[in-house]
Structure 1
Amino acid sequence: MKKSVIFILALLVAFNINAQLDRSTPPKPGPAPKVNIGKAQTFELKNGLKVFVVENDKVPVVSYTLSLDIDPIVEGEKAGYSSIAGDLMGSGTSTRSKAQIDEAVDFIGATLNTSSKGMYASSLKKHSDELLNLMTDVLYNPSFPAEELEKAQKQMLTGLKSQKDDPKAIASNIKSVLRFGKDHPYGEILTEASVEAITVDDLKSYYNTYFRPNVAYLVIVGDISVKEAKKQAKKYFAQWESKEVPTYKYEFPAGFETPKVVVANKDGSTQSTISLSYNVDLKPGHPDAIKARVMNSILGGGSFSARLFQNLREDKAFTYGAYSSLSSDELVGTFNAGANVRTSVTDSAFTEIIYEMERMRTELVEEANLQLVKNSLTGSFSRSLEDPATVARFALNIEKYNLPADYYETYLEKLNAVSTADIKAMAEKYLTPDNALILAVGDVPNMRASLKKFAKDGKVEMYDFYGNMVKAMPLPADLTAEKVINKYIKAIGGTEAIAAVDNYILEGTMNVQGMPLSMKMYSRRPNHQCVETYMQGNLVSKQVFNGEAGKVVSPMGEQKIEGEMLENMKAESVMFPETQYAELGYQLELLGADNVDGQDVVKLKVISPSGKEQTVFYSRNTGLKVKEVSTSPQGTMASTYTEYAEVNGIKFPKKMSQAVGPQSFDITFESIKVNEDIDASKFDI
């Protein structure tokens, strides 16, 4: 009985409390929490090196971050050399090879990375002296081995090939060139010619010019006292020689007076990569910086509740995600809003992005929405303080950007003070779609016309991967897909010479993810094919089709090919299929003129009897096949063909490059044989 009475009284108390609370009104936010940021101790060596020390003895680890405070440079015809110079600093010194450096770092369980703007090293405290010996050897004595430069160049060139079919990379290049100009350090892009032009002397010149203590900061964080840090800094860095370092000034890039609408082609794409961007004058620590960040967070700063995300994904189902960014920079800040959308809604997506930007400019945001974003940013800032490296970064920023000494200590107060009126003011100042570069990368023929409405003059310009305007010559009015194919057949040797070919053997080499491979391809009429791949002379894979059946042999065993894959293999095994398009039932469509790597081409859509679609490019000058693009569940595959050579009256491409997603490789055919004896067992199933 007593328990029952207590229970009833408890219910009455709870009921009375709930009756007195108005749960429809959320509690008012409290004042911004006080921020107690640990202090970084600073001192300077006689050579001008500024050192920052943050003590943290929670784990016995010490890290050393060396960063250069230098102006961006224009690299011109050798764009990319500063990046390679930074990467290769750790690839060999006058006393150690790259292998010896890597082994020494691994032996003490350390980390050592270099870049064009400095280096980073970290290890257990007990190994710090060994680490600093390695770090300063790399700093003082880099040798830039020629063989390492050659490797780096090959990697860059391979990356360029895969980027040419990456819509994000295409968009990035075009935005850089059009917003900054090729004579601005932010507008330079890598090209094959610029990468190949880089020499060891260029790397040494960059190092000798810019790696100087009087423009550098050394940040030491971890289980180390200021006294110990001073001792190490003097021991390892005092002999670093200071020298005057060049400085550069750049004009703020001219913007667009009206929206500039640009497209770039991504063959085989079923979606468009869209971007609305422009430059802004917003430097680190600017009084607008915090308010502008809050404004962008509400618009599209990464949260699921951001307006662009809610509109383009949740409401319209145009995309998986839509975002915006507003970044500060010492030279030029940037605004960008974008998404990946279905091709059919490319123009609608831009309309909604502009609508949300205008809504931010003309309407006050909801107080609850503003508070939600401020709470999120407060949490992110507070969590960042758990990392002692944050304290060092804050101290470094105050020094580099001449910020008030209490800039970060009062950060949350400034954040908490942001009002809805501030957000509207920031939107009016920094959201300017009327001066934007409106860019879409995708299937140009299916989106170009719909984008004209965003340009006041109705012009939609087309650019290529290198940021060059594409001005394809108009096609003759009487040109047909069949005429293009006939020109190709004539270009490679003609119908009589092709008919005389019973078989051919191609032998080539390639490099896949650093592994040298060799390949042999056997083709025989009517449609027999065998492709063998070898590593160090050992067969690693084999693909065979005997006219009716197919199989693949790999280290996983032997697999019989069936269904759609078999139909595709059958189509690919036909020798010179262009000569049989009509009788095999291929469908052809003339898509128009285009440009591939500076070459004027004619573009065709080719649909095989099995329904597989390809976009094929033929040179308008020679008639030869230049490129093929196809799309599959595995992604888009692009193949390019160069350096045709004549063998027995037939022209074969000696070089072929293939890119599948982020992977790419080159094949060089060193041997081409026509009408040789081929062992019939090559086509056994």
Structure 2
Amino acid sequence: MNRWLMKLSLALVALGFVSGAQAVEIQHWTTDEGARVYFYPAHSIPMLDVRVVFDAGSARDKRSGTAAMTQGLLDMGAGEWDANAIAEQLESVGAQLGGSVGRDSAALSLRSLTDESRLDAALTVFTKVLSQPTFPQADFEREQARLIQALRQQKQQPGAQVGKAYYRALYGDHPYAAPSSGDEESVSLIRRVHLFHFHKRYYVANNAVIALVGDVDRARAEAVAARISSQLREGEAAPELPEVVAPSASQQRIEMDTQQSHILMGLPAVRRGGPDYYALYVGNHIFGGSGFAARLMQRIREDRGLAYSVYSRLSPMSELGPFTMGMQTRNEQREEAIDLLRSNLREFIQEGPTEEELQKSLDNIIGSEALRTDKNAELVRYLAMIGFYELPLDYLDTFSDKVREVSRDDVKAAWQRHIDPDNLVQVVVGASVEAAPEKAPTSEAPQ
């Protein structure tokens, strides 16, 4: 089972969205300043998890790497506090900050006890970090130097190089093409003032989703959300991203002295919340998204021994995210493995899964709901995802039913609509394969 599926299954159970369980409504409202709020009360432990997500991912960068540096330096200074003061105040009340940044979004999260004085102190720090970052010059310079050094090191890492080249080939001039971390040139051009400008434009209430999961009632949740939202500028929502233009089929190989080739191939195929998502998802689970149970793993690794790692994945985003096949194989068997990967995709698109494959996949996905967790920190991520991508409030509640309804014909039709095997982008990082030298003729008579 892939990691995303495992986490979603855990979330379904923890929220009460299991077969035979009573559905629990996710509560939703909008603050006076325009932030959209999603709340689920969970009273098993005296904790509150808060996650604020902004449409402020790397797709909004003018200089690639700005979004990542802005998010990464939020807690280095805020208002009158430096990084040490922020850390000490959080530690004194047992609270934790976290965060992330991707192509679509940037987020800051807080985990705190719900004791009134502790939560009040934690929220004071959280709102100041969110709304009044100072991006200290010394910390900015240190982070910039660290990031540039990391990007230089990535030039020697085939996995990093194939991923960056793959996204450039997939997306061309689209904002999704650039890596979230930027590149050496773009990061070196970023100045501290650019972080202030980026924060002022995108870290605003009308561009925010606030997700809350924990041991508070609706009134207290509303007070927490209002407190966060009121500290943000109202601002404006980020504009729609441009539509993704499907690239033409292409093949690229990057020379690198490695024993194994790293291979990625695919195309833009799936938007978060798209009508064919469930059929694409179930199909991917069967084809290459379920580890050793997947068709690709069985046919290419287990049956033929042509790859150490082979998989497929769907990466839905605000605009078309990629369907990707990935593989690592020895350089000398690279072409054979690529041909087999392509032929398996073509067969799957033409014929769809077998009934046995479908039933095993559905049983695996739906049966995983028997898992249990109390990890509110995971649940708040799902609420934030629902809010950010404006998915139905019953998304988690209906997930299993939607999966259960998928048929072989649904999978086949969806894959034929969205995945064209003749229009794949392919990127390979690996060493050239020299032709084996011919043996010199011998004058000895055969024995």
Q: CA deviation digits over 1:360-410, x for unaligned, max 9?
A: 123353222211101111134564786556665555555444444544333
Q: 1:128 and 2:119 equivalent?
A: yes
Q: Which amino acid aligns with 2:233?
A: E
Q: Normalized per residue, which structure has more strand?
A: 1
* Equivalent position of 2:86 in the other structure: 101
* Equivalent position of 1:431 in the other structure: 419
> Any gaps of 5 or more consecutive residues in structure 1?
1-31, 448-685
* Equivalent position of 2:30 in the other structure: 44
Tell me the SS of whatever aligns to 2:177: coil
* Equivalent position of 1:206 in the other structure: 198
CA 1:387/1:99 → structure 2, altered by over 3 Å: closer, same or farther? closer
Residue 146 of structure 1 deviates from its aligned partner by: 0.7
Distance across 2 between alignment mates of 1:194 and 1:285: 32
Distance across 2 between alignment mates of 1:440 and 1:239: 48
Distance across 2 between alignment mates of 1:46 and 1:199: 34
Distance across 1 between alignment mates of 2:384 and 2:66: 27
* Equivalent position of 2:260 in the other structure: 271
Structure-to-structure mapping, 1:557-572, within 5 angstroms: none
Tell me the SS of whatever aligns to 2:292: coil
Tell me the SS of whatever aligns to 2:151: helix
Q: CA deviation digits over 1:49-77, x for unaligned, max 9?
A: 2222211121111111111135764534x
Tell me the SS of whatever aligns to 1:432: coil
* Equivalent position of 2:146 in the other structure: 155
Structure-to-structure mapping, 1:138-537, within 5 angstroms: 138-181=129-172, 183-189=173-179, 190-256=182-248, 259-267=249-257, 269-280=258-269, 282-380=270-368, 383=371, 387-388=375-376, 396-446=384-434
> Any gaps of 5 or more consecutive residues in structure 2?
1-17, 436-447
Structure-to-structure mapping, 1:531-550, within 5 angstroms: none
Residue 43 of structure 1 deviates from its aligned partner by: 2.9
The answer to whether the 8 Å contact 2:58/2:66 transfers is no
Residue 421 of structure 1 deviates from its aligned partner by: 1.9
The answer to whether the 8 Å contact 1:278/1:334 transfers is yes
Residue 438 of structure 1 deviates from its aligned partner by: 1.9
Distance across 1 between alignment mates of 2:352 and 2:136: 60
The answer to whether the 8 Å contact 1:274/1:439 transfers is yes
Residue 129 of structure 1 deviates from its aligned partner by: 1.0
CA 1:193/1:361 → structure 2, altered by over 3 Å: closer, same or farther? closer
Residue 210 of structure 1 deviates from its aligned partner by: 0.8
Normalising to structure 2: TM-score of the pair? 0.85
Distance across 1 between alignment mates of 2:33 and 2:328: 50
CA 1:207/1:284 → structure 2, altered by over 3 Å: closer, same or farther? same
CA 1:85/1:402 → structure 2, altered by over 3 Å: closer, same or farther? closer
Q: Which amino acid aligns with 2:75?
A: G
Residue 302 of structure 1 deviates from its aligned partner by: 2.9
Residue 343 of structure 1 deviates from its aligned partner by: 0.8
Tell me the SS of whatever aligns to 1:42: strand
Q: Normalized per residue, which structure has more helix?
A: 2
The answer to whether the 8 Å contact 2:53/2:384 transfers is no
Tell me the SS of whatever aligns to 1:276: strand
The answer to whether the 8 Å contact 1:179/1:253 transfers is no
Q: Choose from 56, 64, 67 the match for 1:82.
A: 67
The answer to whether the 8 Å contact 1:35/1:410 transfers is no
CA 1:141/1:61 → structure 2, altered by over 3 Å: closer, same or farther? same
Paired positions, count: 410
Root-mean-square deviation (Å):
2.4
Distance across 1 between alignment mates of 2:387 and 2:55: 11
Greater relative contact order (Cα 8 A, min sep 6): structure 1 or 2?
2
Q: Which amino acid aligns with 2:412?
A: K
Identity %: 27
* Equivalent position of 1:15 in the other structure: none
The answer to whether the 8 Å contact 1:64/1:219 transfers is yes
* Equivalent position of 2:5 in the other structure: none
Q: Which amino acid aligns with 1:206?
A: F
